[in-house]
């Protein structure tokens, strides 16, 4: 089942936090399309993400989703540490505590693939700076289902390996510097 | 694999072999099926259908591998700390304590709980019923063996959870593995129980079921939560995984929230 609603997924690893924060600081107030952020981070340590962001933008509606929580417009979701974050066909989140994929849990590939299956052409997925290959497979699944894959320009990435891997695997991926990524997302029509 | 193909596999397992996965969460179940296929080099959907129909041995392995058996000691140390500070002192007022650890997998969290009970002087009068659907995982749990390479991480988790002793008091290291000692094993009963079909078997003051419900859809979650409700004594505690919520379930008004971050609830009456 493919929903007609749009969704944006952003995956990042080493060096991606400043880019994510920049996007969140500058995104238009009232931006409607839900954004799902998957960052590699330490397990068994409480999350600092929501604190950091709430300090910079008190108007953003941020959630670390619980299992079965519905995806809602206008919300920004951050994948919880130590779980894979999945999207179900009924528009709810699902969590999965199975083996790490390429040493990562949450895995960017896993979330992108599940978003591709549910949202098809209405999914936009972005791979940011990082020092591994996570996200490249996921972008391939997104593009396969006619969604849009974007990679951060490796020249602007603190760790270029991850976006470079995504670009190498996906010639159809769009490549933008951080301001270009923000512009692209801002111009997506919410419907 | 498409949703329709996945549904066919689920139907086949149910009609031919009596295993009911129809109320598992679709997205994670699909990932598990793909994983089992790649482990056993099943090339495509048609081969999978053929193998499930004709190979009983494969079906037995399939069912075992489809359930997630990933766990660690003192996962979410803050949860264990909260349990120790807020729940176990209340349980201490009972002359005998009964705990159900549902979906215990290979036992790491059961032994974590046993250690806390031991340190509070409660283990002697506690009985932990640790259950899982997966017989092979239970067999491993019963042996109390953990990978010695993980001991360092477990020790750190233990300290973060508020453990007050030397963690090495609880295991004996042998080459590549560590065995949990008798002082944290003897009050635990491991047995097979399938949350999908089995019922109430005792009454408990605490039920721990962490990161099991995430693999079930809402229909099955509601069934299992009702089973937990019926298995708890009045004012008994329910502990779920830290991202598992009662918010989206039928029983949300039957439980009081003790700690929403660590997902500790208490039966209302």
Q: Where are the alpha helices (DSSP H) in B67-217?
A: 77-82, 88-91, 108-119, 135-143, 151-160
Number of domains in chain B: 2
Domain that holds residue B53: 3-66
The answer to whether A154 faces chain B, any CB pair under 8 Å, is no
Query: What average pLDDT does the segment B212-234 reach?
Result: 97
pLDDT per residue as tens, chain A (191 positions): 567 699 999 999 999 988 998 999 899 999 999 999 999 876 655 555 655 666 668 888 989 999 999 999 999 999 998 999 999 999 999 999 999 998 899 999 999 999 999 999 999 999 999 999 999 999 999 999 999 999 999 999 999 999 999 999 999 999 999 999 999 999 998 76
R_g over Cα of chain B: 19
The answer to whether A87 faces chain B, any CB pair under 8 Å, is yes
B161 & B195 share domain: yes
Enumerate the active-site residues of A.
13, 40, 134
pLDDT of residue B64: 87
Looking at chain B, the whole-number percentage of residues with pLDDT higher than 70 is 100
B35 & B136 share domain: no
B45 & B97 share domain: no
**pLDDT tens digit sequence for B124-148:** 999 999 999 999 999 999 999 999 9
Q: Which residue of B has its CA nearest to A115?
A: B27
Range from A38-42, B27-31, B57-61, B196-200 carrying the lowest mean pLDDT: A38-42
Residue B87 lies in a domain: yes
Count residue pairs from A and B with Cβ separation < 8 A. 80
B53 & B139 share domain: no
B207 & B140 share domain: yes
Indicate yes or no: CB of B247 within 8 angstroms of CB of A66: yes
Looking at chain B, the whole-number percentage of residues with pLDDT higher than 90 is 91
Of the candidates B147, B73, B177, B179, the residue with the CA atom closest to the CA atom of residue B116: B73
The answer to whether A2 faces chain B, any CB pair under 8 Å, is no
B44 & B16 share domain: yes
Indicate yes or no: CB of A44 within 8 angstroms of CB of B160: yes
Domain that holds residue A149: 9-171
Beta bridge partners of B171: B180
> What is the CATH classification number for the domain harbouring A146?
3.40.50.180
B51 & B83 share domain: no
pLDDT of residue A57: 81
Residue B126 lies in a domain: yes
Give dist(CA B81, CA A38) in Å, integer. 28
The answer to whether A44 faces chain B, any CB pair under 8 Å, is yes
B53 & B156 share domain: no
Q: Would you list the DSSP string of B193-223? A: --TTT----S-EEEEEE-SSGGGB-HHHHHH
What three-state secondary structure class fits B185?
coil
Q: Which residue of B has its CA nearest to A99?
A: B70
Residue B258 lies in a domain: yes
pLDDT of residue B175: 85
Number of domains in chain A: 1
Q: Which residue of A has its CA nearest to B2?
A: A117
Give dist(CA A87, CA A70) in Å, integer. 9
B25 & B142 share domain: no
pLDDT of residue B211: 97
Q: Cα–Cα distances in Å, from A138 out to A10, B29, B112, B258?
A: 11, 18, 36, 39
Q: Give the list of residues 6+ apart from residue B38 with CB closer than 8 angstroms, or none.
A: none
**pLDDT tens digit sequence for B161-219:** 999 899 999 999 988 899 999 999 999 999 999 999 999 999 999 999 999 999 999 99
pTM over 0.95: no
Asked if B31 contacts A98 with a C-beta cutoff of 8 angstroms, the reply is yes
Distance from CA of B95 to the nearest CA of A (A): 34
């Amino acid at each position: 089942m493919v929903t007609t609603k749009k969704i944006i997924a952003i995956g990042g690893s080493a060096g991606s936090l400043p880019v994510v924060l920049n996007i969140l600081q500058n995104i238009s107030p009232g931006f409607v399309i839900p954004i799902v952020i998957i960052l590699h981070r330490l397990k068994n340590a409480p999350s600092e993400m929501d604190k950091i962001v709430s300090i910079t933008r008190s108007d953003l509606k941020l959630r670390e989703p619980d299992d079965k929580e519905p995806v809602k417009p206008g919300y920004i979701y951050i994948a919880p540490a130590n779980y894979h974050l999945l999207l179900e066909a009924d528009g709810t989140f699902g969590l999965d505590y199975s083996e790490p994929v390429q040493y990562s849990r949450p895995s960017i590939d896993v979330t992108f693939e599940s978003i591709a299956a549910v949202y098809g052409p209405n999914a936009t997925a972005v791979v940011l700076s990082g020092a591994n290959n996570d996200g490249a497979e996921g972008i391939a699944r997104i593009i396969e289902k006619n969604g849009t894959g974007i990679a951060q320009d490796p020249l602007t990435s603190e760790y270029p390996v991850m976006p470079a891997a995504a670009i190498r695997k996906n010639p159809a991926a769009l490549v933008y510097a951080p301001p270009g990524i923000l512009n692209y997302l801002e111009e997506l029509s919410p419907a | 694999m498409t949703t329709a193909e996945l549904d066919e596999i689920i139907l086949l397992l149910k009609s031919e072999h009596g295993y009911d996965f129809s109320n598992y969460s679709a997205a994670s179940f699909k990932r598990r099926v793909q994983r089992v296929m790649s482990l056993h080099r099943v090339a495509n959907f048609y081969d999978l259908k053929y193998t499930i129909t004709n190979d009983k041995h494969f079906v037995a392995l399939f069912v075992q591998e489809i359930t997630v058996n990933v766990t660690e000691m003192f996962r979410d140390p803050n949860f264990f700390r909260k349990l120790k500070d807020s729940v176990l002192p209340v349980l201490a007022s009972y002359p005998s304590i009964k705990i159900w650890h549902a979906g215990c997998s290979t036992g790491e969290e059961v032994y974590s709980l046993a250690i806390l009970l031991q340190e509070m002087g409660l283990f002697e009068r506690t009985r932990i019923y640790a259950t899982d659907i997966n017989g092979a995982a239970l067999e491993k749990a019963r042996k109390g063996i953990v990978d010695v390479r993980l001991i360092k991480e477990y020790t750190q988790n233990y300290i973060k959870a508020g453990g007050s002793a030397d963690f090495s008091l609880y295991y004996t290291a042998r080459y590549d593995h560590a065995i949990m000692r008798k002082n944290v094993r003897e009050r635990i009963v491991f047995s097979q129980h399938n949350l999908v079909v089995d019922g109430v078997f005792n009454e408990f003051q605490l039920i721990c079921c962490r990161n099991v419900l995430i693999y079930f859809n809402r229909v099955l979650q509601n069934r299992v939560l009702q089973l937990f409700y019926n298995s708890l004594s009045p004012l008994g505690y329910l502990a779920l995984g830290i991202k598992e919520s009662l918010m989206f379930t039928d029983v949300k008004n039957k439980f009081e929230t003790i700690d929403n971050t660590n997902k500790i609830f208490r039966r209302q009456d």
